[in-house]
């Protein structure tokens, strides 16, 4: 209960601020429309939570009325002239007929026993309405605040929302105790004391004149259920949020793995492409190198054609850089350079060292070096179109000749 005592002022302020908005009217209309679609049995089940037991004294009888959403109907009567124990037993039997442990019980006093005033107050006073009415009590009524029990109901607001229409209901404490005497002696726990607007129709004012310390202590199950549902909703919301974050993290991890796998595949493809390009370049290099190199057969053929018959070679060496070294004997060594300069294969022929005569064979021994000419690997040029046409035109004449 201490928690409820702390929460009650805050709830009052929230209810006051909520009442200033158009939401209450909207939800009232919306709820009524939704209830109209439900079966009658469901509407009755939902209305059970709003039941109350109304008590009042009339003609020496304690009259019990059962209030539901449809209105108030007579339920039972207890003769107050009987012994108190008999009255208490009768009430307990009548109460046992209603299978509702949390049934609210209100005592209603006649309208003639209370003072009702309609007041116009600033809207700012709504959050501390009871305190404001306590200060205004001696101005609005012939009583002081400590001489009465009072309650109030906000009946409406003006169009601008700056003024409140408040109904103040006041009953002197002495009259209050006299009215409650029949109920007090029976020990009936009351949730509140109201006053009748119309006894015949069972309409009451909707106030609670009973002081808070004298009201029946009931566990507000609806509040605890609402708090539990709110806590559950918060927990479920947090769980959904956490689950959503986890799902997004898992999706992000999977996407990262996919991206890394694609990047790895791209790196492998790039490495294979580089390897392929290097292989192609190597193959092309060897091919070009082979095409650019002068074949040995061609070199031998050229030397055979250029060298005199009286000259023969003892040693022929071709280095990787295209340097040709010739060593041999010749009786015409002075003409060798001139002959080799006409070669289409060799370039820059020159003697290396001194030409020495060999008396044994009566020939000169020479050491000669030269450089292989680069080989022309370009494809042969096609004949000009004019030459082709001219050749085609002259072909028949040549055949005739």
Predicted confidence at residue 390, as pLDDT, reads 52
- Span 344-367, pLDDT tens digits: 888 888 888 888 888 888 888 888
In angstroms, the CA 10 to CA 40 distance is 37
Please give the average per-residue pLDDT across 329-345, as a whole number.
Answer: 82
Predicted confidence at residue 3, as pLDDT, reads 58
What are 95's two structure tokens? 């109460």
When pLDDT is cut at 50, 70 and 90, the band that residue 396 belongs to is: very low
Q: Are 192 and 212 in contact (CB under 8 A)?
A: no
Please give the average per-residue pLDDT across 230-252, as a whole number.
Answer: 92
When pLDDT is cut at 50, 70 and 90, the band that residue 398 belongs to is: very low
When pLDDT is cut at 50, 70 and 90, the band that residue 220 belongs to is: low
Between 45 and 249, residue with greater pLDDT: 249
Predicted confidence at residue 4, as pLDDT, reads 54
Predicted confidence at residue 157, as pLDDT, reads 81
Residue with the two structure tokens 């991206």: 259
Burial class (CB in 10 A: 0-12, 13-18, 19+), 304: exposed
CA distances from 75 to 53, 63, 200 (A): 9, 8, 14
Please give the average per-residue pLDDT across 143-162, as a whole number.
Answer: 86
DSSP 85-150: HHHHHHHHHHHHTS--TT-EEEEEE-GGGSEEEEEEEEGGGGGGHHHHHHHHHHHHSSS-GGGEEE
Quick check: 267 pLDDT over 90? yes
Closest CA relative to residue 4, chosen from 223, 231, 207: 223
Please give the average per-residue pLDDT across 80-100, as a whole number.
Answer: 88
Strongest mean pLDDT among 261-275, 336-350, 374-388: 261-275
Q: Report residue 249 CA to chain centroid gap.
A: 11
Predicted confidence at residue 255, as pLDDT, reads 94
């Amino acid at each position: 209960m201490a928690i409820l005592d702390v929460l009650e002022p805050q709830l009052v302020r929230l209810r006051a601020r909520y009442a200033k908005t158009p939401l209450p009217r909207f939800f009232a209309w919306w709820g009524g429309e939704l209830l109209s679609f439900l079966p009658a049995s469901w509407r009755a089940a939902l209305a059970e939570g709003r039941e109350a037991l109304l008590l009042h004294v009339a003609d020496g009888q304690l009259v019990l009325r059962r209030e539901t959403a449809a209105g108030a109907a007579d339920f039972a009567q207890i003769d107050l002239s009987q012994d108190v124990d008999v009255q208490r037993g009768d009430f307990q039997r009548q109460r046992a007929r209603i299978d509702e442990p949390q049934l609210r019980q209100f005592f209603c006093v006649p309208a003639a026993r209370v003072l009702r005033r309609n007041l116009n107050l600033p809207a700012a006073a709504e959050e501390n309405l009871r305190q404001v009415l306590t200060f205004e009590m001696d101005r609005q009524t012939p009583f002081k605040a400590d001489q009465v029990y009072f309650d109030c109901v906000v009946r409406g607001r003006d169009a601008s929302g700056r003024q409140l229409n408040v109904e103040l209901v006041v009953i002197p404490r002495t009259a209050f105790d006299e009215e409650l005497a029949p109920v007090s002696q029976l020990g009936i726990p009351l949730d509140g004391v109201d006053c009748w607007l119309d006894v015949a129709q069972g309409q009451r004012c909707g106030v609670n004149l009973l002081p808070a310390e004298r009201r029946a202590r009931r566990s507000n199950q609806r509040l605890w259920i609402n708090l539990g549902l709110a806590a559950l909703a918060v927990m479920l919301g947090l769980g959904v949020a956490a689950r959503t974050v986890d799902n997004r993290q898992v999706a992000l991890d999977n996407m990262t793995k996919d991206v890394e796998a694609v990047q790895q595949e791209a790196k492998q493809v790039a490495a294979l492409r580089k390897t392929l390009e290097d292989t192609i370049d190597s193959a092309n290099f060897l091919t070009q190198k082979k095409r650019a190199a002068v074949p040995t057969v061609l070199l031998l053929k050229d030397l055979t054609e250029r060298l005199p018959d009286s000259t023969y070679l003892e040693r022929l060496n071709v280095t990787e850089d295209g340097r040709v070294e010739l060593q041999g004997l010749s009786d015409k060594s002075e003409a060798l350079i001139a002959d080799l300069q006409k070669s289409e294969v060799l370039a820059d022929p020159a003697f290396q060292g001194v030409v020495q005569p060999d008396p044994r064979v009566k020939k000169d021994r020479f050491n000669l070096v030269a450089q292989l000419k680069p080989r022309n690997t370009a494809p042969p040029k096609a004949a000009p179109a004019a030459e082709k046409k001219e050749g085609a035109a002259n072909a028949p004449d040549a055949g005739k000749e």
